[in-house]
Chain A
């Protein structure tokens, strides 16, 4: 049996988990093609016009898999990844949305609720429905989940040691670059790692000799620590994580500036925005928001990133001179 996994949304974060899980259960795992103009256009055409671009991309990938003749397309419903915190409502209604948009796809969709205490989604209860649906043994499912979990933890470990997800997913050798500035990139995995939708922003950074740190490379404990200082948490798991990451970046000296990459019309990010803009100003960290959607052009992103990095370099240069001058002055007295 073939199972299709759309290369969109949480794919970038959980693909190693899903791949191991389904392969251990005896499925053939097929992914959709990389996001392309065709996929995006189809997604834009089929989905509701106002919805954010990641959802449109997902719709495009879903259709792409439909044409690939797979038996099932995996559309999990992410509900909650820690107690009292949800995912964006669009994730919680994702299968409903897909079923609403297309006729006669209900049998093809493989969906179940994902409710877990942390980012590790290997909780057996989430996958119980597989037992009857595919006629597999409980023990086999448990074993598959176990190895999927191990695979995912390995993947995250590598990730947190400084390799970005795209390098890990494509099995390309991670490259370390020697750069003079480091930028903290804040954004959801599907905005940061989807090369088509963000005009391959990671590569743009690399070409400009800028080192990039994203939320997935940061130790989760540090982030949780930051979040816990908030009396009332935001309702969305990854928005919370981004908020914690942002505060971590603001306080760290090795991060020279922060770029927030967000999709047009992203709801949770609109609530995140005042916190980031106001507090980065207070911490005197350069901050910029890059907004992407189906209309974004490459030159726009390149220009803005270039201007931003020039500014940071200039700032650094000036700070250096100032420091040196101060040191000389000390000697004079």
Chain B
């Protein structure tokens, strides 16, 4: 079984999971122009961008020899939950014989779910599986912790590119993990590495902090959002995203209430603007904007794929939030047509707006 999976954020966590379970893993290449071209060519024209990119990733992985695709399903009404079924249909029609293992909520079909788990589990005992899942979860949390620090500190690095280089090296270190204790060791090393990078001092009052909310795929996958975090860092702004994979696991996979509290709070903050959970992360995005605002962030960037169903409702309420609080928010659509120059110009203008607003407030005081 040569396993592959959608490329979203760092792929090493999934690689670790499946390779520890004893499968041969084929990491799809980081989405590039080739991936996007592939995906766009074979996907429905108006499918959302993540479907097209993931489709491209699958095709590239199949070229590399993958024969099993493992992905998550969903309950809707966001389209993402049906990606697997649609992609399966298209790939079959193209003549590829690949095995799709789509993990839906167990309650949809317990037997089917168990069969899929057994397939992925291989010959490992349940104790081993628990151990492996624990290692991977620990690794994901640890990687997210380091990434959060980098997203903040990279804004002030003296020599451009040092943090990104360090992050790539750290990722490779995480790849080598075998047992649970390794995670602690790598984390310590990573922190040491990060702290040794020279940082130029910026006074507290001049720091800019920007939050990113929106659809999970375009927020998390840097190759298709034009490395928006690095771009913002390069303009001297600290960044925090609304989605991290470990938080997604906390909310969606761990059935303990204490792990759900953060997401619940954010949902509550969005309730004023979007009453129900309407699929995707629409309500979380509205809540996330309020959350970032309350935590004193200077502005929020809202990212969504072109034509995203739930996020369009969020975009509709954003204007109201802006009017109500006089708070800088920019909504950016991402698809295969987006040009980097356009994105850069808009982000630059956005940062200028934040700076000017700050000056204005200073004068007013």
Name A's B-contacting residues (CB within 8 A). Answer: 47-48, 50-52, 77, 79, 84, 86-90, 92-93, 95-97, 99-101, 103, 113, 232, 234-236, 264-271, 273-275, 278
Interface size class, chain B: 35 or more
By the criterion CB–CB under 8 Å, are A50 and B307 in contact?
yes
By the criterion CB–CB under 8 Å, are B317 and A96 in contact?
yes
| Complex interface: chain B residues within 8 A of A99 (CB) | 273, 317, 320
Query: Would you list the 6 A-B pairs with minimal beta carbon distance, nearest first?
Result: A235-B76, A100-B317, A93-B313, A270-B46, A86-B77, A92-B278
Q: How far is the CA of A267 from the CA of B93 in the complex (A)?
A: 22
A50 with B93, Cβ < 8 A, contacts A100-B318, A236-B76, A273-B46 known: no
Interface 9-mer from B84-92, B191-199, B204-212, B227-235: B84-92
| Complex interface: chain A residues within 8 A of B47 (CB) | 270-271, 273
| Complex interface: chain A residues within 8 A of B175 (CB) | none
Can you name 18 A-B pairs with beta carbons within 8 Å? A51-B312, A77-B275, A89-B280, A92-B279, A93-B276, A93-B278, A93-B282, A93-B313, A96-B273, A96-B313, A99-B317, A99-B320, A103-B320, A103-B323, A113-B276, A271-B47, A271-B79, A273-B44
| Complex interface: chain A residues within 8 A of B104 (CB) | 232
B82 at interface by CB-CB < 8 Å: yes
Q: A92-B276, A97-B317 are in contact. List 12 more A-B contacts (CB 8 A).
A: A52-B307, A92-B279, A93-B313, A96-B275, A96-B317, A101-B316, A101-B320, A113-B276, A235-B78, A267-B307, A271-B44, A274-B86
B24 at interface by CB-CB < 8 Å: no
By the criterion CB–CB under 8 Å, are A278 and B93 in contact?
yes
B174 at interface by CB-CB < 8 Å: no
B38 at interface by CB-CB < 8 Å: no
By the criterion CB–CB under 8 Å, are A100 and B273 in contact?
yes
Contact string against A for B residues 275-297, beta-carbon threshold 8 Å, 1 for contact and 0 otherwise: 11011101000000000000000
The residue in chain A whose Cβ has the minimal distance to the Cβ of B73 is A232
Q: How far is the CA of A96 from the CA of B318 in the complex (A)?
A: 11
| Complex interface: chain B residues within 8 A of A270 (CB) | 44-48, 79
| Complex interface: chain B residues within 8 A of A265 (CB) | 46, 307
By the criterion CB–CB under 8 Å, are A77 and B317 in contact?
no
